[in-house]
Structure 1
Amino acid sequence: MSDLPNENVHDYPRPPRLEAVPHRVCIRLGDRTIANTTRALRVLETHHAPTYYLPPEDVAADFAPASGGSFCEWKGQARYFDVSAGGILAPRAAWSYAAPSRAFAALADHLAFYAGLMTSCSVGGEPVIPQPGDFYGGWVTANLTGRPKGARGTEHW
């Protein structure tokens, strides 16, 4: 049984909120654990699955800048990275904010990962599935209810 609290993605705030994660966050790429931390942060935003950000010193992988970027009205300009570990390359699998907005300053240089491009991700021991769609990087765990943005028909929420 999970000790993650039940949460509904429709109850998350707008503008988004940044908070510390009181659970262990783990990421595997191939046969390597590239992250195992209790120091993650997450962003909660209405209709989105939580996005988890890990301190770079808690991630054991190689990163190379990837092309392109994106802009979040709340957090600022994101940069993307190819991630490699154990001979496996995951293109454009992570992103970070070098200079986030003041409200999200704690995210500076923390790394977020697309769960679908990693071998596995977990929060508090619960397996993660990716937020629907190919743009948003939220992590869906069994404790979440509501329909997260990203799936067909949710484009204009």
Structure 2
Amino acid sequence: MLPPKDLLLARVKANRDGWNLAFRPPGLEAAGPGQESVWDYPRPPMLAPAPATIRVTDGDIEIARSDRALEVKEMAGAPVPYIPPEDVRTDLLHPNGRVSVCEWKGAAVSLDLMREDGDEIADAAWTYPDPFDDLPEGYAAIAGWIAFYPGKLDCYVGDEQARPQPGGFYGGWVTDRIKGPIKGGPGSAGW
């Protein structure tokens, strides 16, 4: 069961106000043509169309394919594609009772992937069933859409296989178009 939305929103407001938007870590990588620096992304994060077809596979099984995915792009993090449920094998995904909270988007429900052979991949994906709607960024647009961890499944932006964002907690998809450093690695807890 999800916590009440208004209670969550009251709890996260201090986190929202606590960000130092001027902070930049040492060792920023220069973004060239066709590339993006995660330090040029805004906070609160923006929604933007994914730059290519988004695909998610588990071996030979296609879990998702979409030309309509939206990326959430937040300062210091790799983009996270959210895929409309119509483009996902939702029959393989099941809520597992775990909930996490993002100060911008609200309560996320974690999903396990049940393989056709009966094996399970725990916490393979997540969704925001009822995102916060108090900001102009329009997170309600991804209500019920599904994001996948590239460290648990094979995730592609176009033909490029995405690598997981460092640290294992964040679900960002790292590709060659992204320049960092990207939060999640050692020493980046405050980013």
TM-score normalised to the size of structure 2?
0.76
In structure 1, the gaps of 5 or more residues are none
Structure with greater proportional strand content = 1
* Alignment of 1:24 onto 2:48: no
Structure 1 residue 133 and structure 2 residue 167: aligned? yes
Counterpart amino acid of 1:136? Y
Structure number having the greater helix percentage: 2
Q: Where does residue 38 of structure 2 map in the other structure?
A: 9
- The one-letter amino acid of 2:102's match is C
2:132 aligned with 1:101? yes
> In structure 2, what is the equivalent of residue 59 of structure 1?
88
Alignment length (residue pairs): 153
> Do 1:95 and 1:113's aligned partners in 2 also have CA atoms closer than 8 Å?
yes
* Aligned partners of 2:51 and 2:157 also within 8 Å: no
Asked whether the equivalents of residues 45 and 74 of structure 2 are also in contact (C-alpha less than 8 Å), the reply is yes
Report the AA paired with residue 92 of structure 1.
D
- Tell me the secondary structure at the aligned position of residue 117 of structure 1: coil
Secondary structure at 2:86 match in 1: helix
Does structure 1 residue 41 correspond to structure 2 residue 70?
A: yes
Larger Rg: 2
Match of 1:111 in 2: 146
Q: Where in structure 1 do 4 or more consecutive aligned residues deviate above 6 Å?
A: none
Distance between the aligned counterparts of 1:33 and 1:75, measured in 2? 27
Q: Equivalent residue for 2:19?
A: none
Instruction: Tell me what 2:100 maps to.
Output: 70
> How many angstroms apart in 1 are the aligned matches of 2:172 and 2:37?
14
The letter of the residue matching 1:68 is R
Compute the displacement of 1:33 (Å): 1.1
- % identical equivalent positions: 44
Q: 1:147 maps to which residue?
A: 181
Contact 1:32 1:85 (8 Å CA) reproduced? no
Structure 1 vs Structure 2 CA RMSD: 1.4
Given that 1:54 and 1:111 are in contact with CA atoms closer than 8 Å, whether structure 2 keeps it comes out as yes
Unaligned runs of 5+ in 2: 1-32
Contact 1:34 1:85 in 2 (8 A): no
Q: CA deviation at 1:67?
A: 2.8
Pairing 1:85–2:115 present: yes
